[in-house]
């Protein structure tokens, strides 16, 4: 296993997926985790309410705002953002270290600012992929069809999408998610090209 000479930690690769909510990154990431056993998902912490099909510790670590604040004060986050009003999300240092120490390549599903922050910290060890919806209208349709968020939350997510899409050209790769089957094939190619690289 190669090691990072600066801190002697295993130098696993880092794959960062980001997009406006509803563009399809969870779908893509789940597919890749099944396809590539060397990948492991970095479970983030959040203060948002748990959705019916989500599991605490698997999809997110669901924290109260007080617990989240305490982790900020302890310096427990690699990065964190108030992605939506009064709703925070953050990448736990302990989670990333745990996966790298297991020799895994770590996959992140984070918002655009978090993605560029992680990319800056990990440099060439990281690949930042922006998942682009075919249009904002299609994004809204997918969010409604997913039926996991209240109307107000859908509106907030759609309203934020255009701003998030303006960050796309700061990423290493833009993956347009139109026909899902094609997208998953392209995603597989992107990952095997990157993790195959010495």
Give residues 51-70 in contact with ligand 5GP (rule: CB under 6 A). none
Q: How far apart are CA 17 and CA 19, in angstroms?
A: 7
- In whole angstroms, the minimum distance from the beta carbon of 88 to ligand 5GP comes to 8
Task: Write down the number of H helices and E strands in the chain.
Answer: 7, 9
Q: Is 89 in the site for ligand 5GP (CB under 6 A)?
A: yes
Q: In terms of Cα–Cα distance, which of 77, 105, 74, 111 is closest to 92?
A: 77
Q: Which of 111, 122, 133, 183 forms a contact with ligand 5GP (CB under 6 A)?
A: 111
Interface segment toward ligand ADP; rule CB under 6 A; list 7-15, 19-27, 71-79, 83-91? 19-27
Candidates 42-50, 72-80, 89-97, 176-184; binding stretch for ligand ADP (CB under 6 A) = 176-184
For residues 25 and 18, is the Cβ–Cβ distance under 8 A? yes
Q: Does 21 bind ligand ADP (CB under 6 A)?
A: yes
Q: Nearest Cα to 148, choosing from 22, 27, 30?
A: 22
- Within 8 A by CB and 6+ apart from 6, the residues are none
Stretches 27-35, 109-117, 137-145, 177-185: which one binds ligand 5GP (CB under 6 A)?
Answer: 109-117
């Amino acid at each position: 296993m190669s090691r990072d000479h600066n801190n002697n930690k295993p130098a696993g690769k880092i794959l960062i997926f980001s997009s406006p909510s509803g563009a399809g990154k969870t779908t893509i990431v789940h597919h890749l985790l099944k396809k590539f056993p060397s990948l492991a998902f970095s479970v983030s912490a959040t203060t948002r309410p748990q959705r019916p099909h989500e599991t605490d510790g698997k999809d997110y670590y669901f924290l109260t705002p007080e617990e989240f604040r305490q982790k900020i004060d302890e310096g427990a986050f690699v990065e964190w953002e108030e992605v939506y009003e009064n709703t925070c999300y953050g990448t736990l240092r302990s989670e990333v270290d745990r996966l790298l120490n297991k020799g895994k390549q770590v996959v992140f599903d984070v918002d655009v600012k978090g993605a560029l922050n992680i990319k800056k910290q990990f440099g060439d060890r990281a690949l930042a992929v922006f998942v682009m919806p075919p249009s904002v209208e299609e994004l809204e349709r997918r969010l409604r069809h997913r039926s996991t968020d209240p109307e107000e939350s859908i509106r907030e997510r759609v309203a934020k999408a255009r701003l998030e899409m303006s960050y796309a050209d700061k990423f290493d790769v833009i993956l347009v998610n139109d026909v899902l089957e094609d997208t998953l094939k392209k995603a597989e190619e992107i990952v095997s090209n990157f993790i195959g690289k010495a």
